[in-house]
Structure 1
Amino acid sequence: MIRFKEYLERRARRAAFVSVCLAGLTVFGGLFLGSCANEDLGKDNDKDGGDRNAAVAFNVSEAQNDAQEAAAKTMPGAPVTRAAFSEQLGMMNLTPADLTTQKLAAEGAAGADLCLIETTTPGVIPTQQGSNAHDTQTAAATAGTEEATAATRANITTLKYLGHFSSYGYRGTTATSFSTTPNWFYNKDTNPDGTLVDPVYWSWTSHHFGKFYAVSPLVTAGYTKLTVSPETYASTPYVDFEVEPNVTDQKDLMTAFSGVVEYASFGVPPTTNLKFHHALTAVRFAVGQNLSWDKTIDKVEIRGAVSKGRYTMATDADGTDAAWNPDYTSTGTFSLACSVNTKANPNVIIVGKPGDNSTTPGDNYTFYMIPQTLTGKGVKAYVHFTDGTEISVTLTGSWKPGTTKTYKISNTNSNWQYTLNVTPTLGPVPYNQTDAGWYSVQSYRQAPDGTQQAVAWKVVGYQESTDGGTTWSPLSDTKPEWLDELPVKEGNGTTWSESGIATIQTSFIDKLAAYNKVLHDANAKGTASSYYDLSTHDYKGNPTARNTANSYLISAPGYYKIPLVYGNAIKNGHDNPDSYTGPSAPVMYYGTDVNLYHFKDHNDQDITDPWITQTNGGVNAPDDAKIVWTDQSGIVEASSLGIEGSGTNAFVHFRVPQDKIKNGNAVIAVTKGGTVVWSWHLWFAKSEELNTIPMVNYQNKTYSFTQQTLGLVYYRWEVSTCSKTRAVRIKVEQTIPNGSPAVKQSGTITITQTPGRDEKKFGSTLYQWGRKDATPSTDAIADGSYSFDGTPGGRSIGYAIQHPGQMFINAQTNPHYYDWCNATYFNLWSAKNTEVSNWWNDNTVVKTIYDPCPAGLKMPASNAFSGFTTTGQGTYTPSEFNVEGSFDEGWTFRSHSGTNTIFIPASGFRAYSYGLLSAVGSYGYYWSAVPCSSLDYSCYLDFEPNKVNPIHDSTRSHAFAVRPVAE
Structure 2
Amino acid sequence: MKSRNSKFVLKAVLIGLAAFVVTACTDSDTAQEAPKKVEDGISFAVTDIQNISESSLPKTKAPSVYETASTALEGEGAEGLSLLETTVEGVNPVYYPAPTRGTITTNDNFAGLKKPFAIFATKEGSTVANYLYNEKVNVDGTMVNPVKWKKSESSKLKFFAVHPATDGSNPLVTTSSGTNPVVNYAPNTDVKKQFDLLVANTNPFNYDDYVSQKIPIAFSHATTAVLFKVGNELTYKQKVKKIEIKNVIGDGTYDIATNAWTVGTTKKTFELDLSTAPFSTATNAGSIMNGGDGTFFMVPQDIPDEAYVLITFVSGKTVKANIGGTGKKWVAGTTKTYTISNSKDLDDRTLTLTINAAKNIFDYNETNVPFTVTSYSEVTGSGRPAKAEPWTITKYESSADGTTWTEGKPSMVADMSSESGNGGTSAEARTMTFTNDYHDYKAEREAALKAAHEATGTVDLSKVNGPQETANCYVVSASGKYSFPMVYGNAIKNGATNASSYTSSYPASEHIFNKFWGASEINSPYITGADGAKVLWTSTPDIVSDVTINGSNVEFKVNKDKMKEASVIIGVTKNTLGAYNVLWSWHIWITSKDVIDTSKDYFMREPLGFRHTEWHGTTYEKDRKVRLTVTQTRTGKTAQVEFTQKASALVREGEAMYYQQGRKDPLYPSNGMSLQSTGIDPNGYNRGFLPFWAVRMPLMMARFRTYDPNDSGIGKGEANGDWMWINFSDQSDGTKYYSHAEHATYFNLWDVNNCVGYRNPNAFVKTVYDPSPAGFRVPRLDEFTKINNGNNGKAAFVPAMGILSERNFTITDAGHSYYWSSEKKKGPGTLSSTQQWYGYYGLLAFGVKNGNTTTLGLVRPEHPSSPMFKDMASGANVISIKE
State if a TM-score over 0.5 links the two structures. no
TM range (shorter): 0.3 to 0.5
Question: What's the TM-score, normalizing by structure 1?
Answer: 0.38
TM-score, structure 2 length as denominator? 0.41
Name which one, 1 or 2, has greater alpha-carbon Rg: 2
